[in-house]
Amino acid sequence: MNFKAVLFDLDGTLLNTIDDLGDSMNNVLTKLSYPTHSIESYKYFVGDGLEMLIKRALPDDVDEETFKKAYQLMREEYGNNWANKTKPYDGIPDLLNSLKSLRIRRAILTNKPDDTAQKVVNKFLSDYEFDIVMGARQNYPKKPEPDGAIEIAKALKIEPEFFLYLGDTKIDMETAKRAGMFPVGVLWGFRKADELINSGAKILIEHPINLLEYINNGN
């Protein structure tokens, strides 16, 4: 396949954000007098958007009012702490530079709230050009619904089949399949190989630069 574009997930794929997410949510739980969780646990809480992260971190029996309070607190906490420990994964800068030199189009699709996604990308990935950065928007379906991925393909005027979709969770692999893109699972992110394979990854890569093998073979 002659791939022309790469669609990236953000958290767990381009950026290691788990410490800042986990620390922020644990601060919320402490304020609400609930038990906190290990950072390792947060790797399985994230991926489906902020609301689901909060629901998974809270006890099962909390009421709607408590959830709303936790949501507001989490927006505040993460707003204050999102840049403390977050950084690109090793090899991501080299991959992005190489894709640019090969004239491969680049875009980001994340379930992180859109305003936060724009801010995080501008902070940590401002040296690299992306055609589109799309986060979760009100009244717009989140991944694994394929709408965002399909919209990006239309905006770039590239058919979905010419996209490599890079992600670290089953949500990403399902999104790629439903959008008609080629699912690539990354092994440096938040989930393990079996989840990625079982949810449809066609290939797994252990280091970002490994993706270039498939770009070069396609070209």
Residue 140, pLDDT score = 82
**For every residue of 117-140, which 3-state class applies, written as one string?**
HHHHHHHHCCCCCCCEEEEECCCC
Q: How far apart are CA 10 and CA 118, in angstroms?
A: 11
SS percent in the chain: helix, strand, coil, step 5? 50, 15, 35
Lookup result for tokens 């909390």: 62
Question: What tens digit of pLDDT does each residue of 55-79 get?
Answer: 999 999 999 999 999 999 999 999 9
pLDDT at 211 over 70: yes
Predicted confidence at residue 219, as pLDDT, reads 44
Query: Please, which pLDDT band fits residue 217 given cuts at 50, 70 and 90?
Result: low
pLDDT number for residue 139: 80
At 82-113, the pLDDT tens digits run 999 999 999 999 999 999 999 999 999 999 99
- pLDDT tens for 133-144 read 999 998 889 999
Q: What are the tokens at 183?
A: 């699912």
The pTM is what? 0.93
Q: What average pLDDT score do residues 116-141 get?
A: 94
Q: Give 64: exposed, middle or buried? Use CB within 10 Å, 0-12, 13-18, 19+.
A: exposed
pLDDT tens figures, 13-54? 999 999 999 999 999 999 999 999 999 999 999 999 999 999
Tell me: pLDDT of 218 over 80. Answer: no
User: For 130-178, how does the pLDDT look when each residue is reduced to its tens digit (9 = 90+)?
Assistant: 999 999 998 889 999 999 999 999 999 999 999 999 999 999 999 999 9
Q: What pLDDT score does 106 carry?
A: 98
For residue 28, which of 9, 54, 52, 6 has the smallest C-alpha distance? 54
- Going by the DSSP 8-state scheme, the letter that residue 12 receives in this structure is T
Q: Residue 132: its pLDDT value, please?
A: 98
